[in-house]
Amino acid sequence: MGVTDRVAVWRAVHEERRRLIRDLTGLAPDQWRTPSLCPGWSVHDVLAHLIDAATTTRLGFARQLLAARFDFDRANEHGVLRHRADDPAATLEAFGAVVDRTDTPPGPLATRLVEAFVHGEDVRRPLGTTGDYPREHVMTALAYVARTSPGFGGGRERVHGLRLSPVDADGHLGDGPEVRGTALALLLAASGRPLDEHELTGPGAQILLARA
């Protein structure tokens, strides 16, 4: 990925962080406690995780993983506890302070797009809304998830043997029974998020929905 591409990716991530702040500003206390699409995490928890992701460097990631005894889930839980304030408004303010940071754990830069878009929907959908994400960057995120194993944040096994055909973008990924849907819906399904049945169509749709 060249410098220009890196600039474009970070611009998309920073813009999405700002949109999320706007969408979460003014939530009622009970809305912050709404279960997100991440099992066991509330909307407030996901926001705290996004702060952790935005402030974790490669060296910091290694230290956190060591402290968690190489348990990724435990490391994530520690990050949530570290950044979740008692008052969700304070957590939101803290997120606003890291909007423009370009720190990242190890891994391809596409993971920052996955983090921003998928977690954005993790909180928006349970609150009854959805985001508007740049389609070309959603496709970059989808391509990463489709080729990457779950151990590295991907969904390769979920989409194995299926042809993913976004209805709002050119091209397809994989071969097999076709699954049609928006690039965002395909990204969410590949990432293991539940969808409404009407969001995916085609002979492979039920296979992917069951795996997700």
Residue-wise pLDDT tens digits, 44-78: 999 999 999 999 876 666 576 566 565 666 767 78
Q: What is the pLDDT of residue 66?
A: 63
Indicate whether 111 pLDDT > 90.
yes
More confident residue, 65 or 32: 32
Top mean-pLDDT range of 3-17, 67-81, 88-102? 88-102
**Tokens coding 42:** 């509330």
Which ranges of the chain would DSSP assign to H, the alpha helix? Answer: 3-24, 29-32, 43-55, 58-67, 72-83, 88-97, 110-124, 135-147, 156-159, 183-190, 205-211
pLDDT(2) > 60: no
Whole-number average pLDDT of the chain: 91
Domains and CATH numbers, the chain: 3-108 (no CATH), 135-211 (3.30.1050.20)
- In this structure, of 62-71, 97-106, 120-129, 136-145, the range with the lowest mean pLDDT score is 62-71
Q: Give the pLDDT of residue 64.
A: 62
- At residue 72, the pLDDT reads 63
Percentage of the chain lying above the pLDDT 70 cut: 90
How far is Cα 174 from Cα 161, in angstroms, rounded to an integer? 7
Rounded mean pLDDT, 84-99: 97
Distance of alpha carbon 50 from alpha carbon 41, whole angstroms: 12
Q: What does the buried/exposed string (b/e) look like for 24-52 if buried means 16 or more CB atoms within 10 Å of the residue's CB?
A: beebeeebbeeebbbeebbbbbbbbbbbb
First to last CA, the chain: 30
Query: Which of 160, 52, 144 shows the shortest CA–CA distance to 107?
Result: 144
Q: State the average pLDDT over residues 153-177.
A: 95
pTM of the model: 0.91
Kindly state the tokens that stand for 195: 């969808």
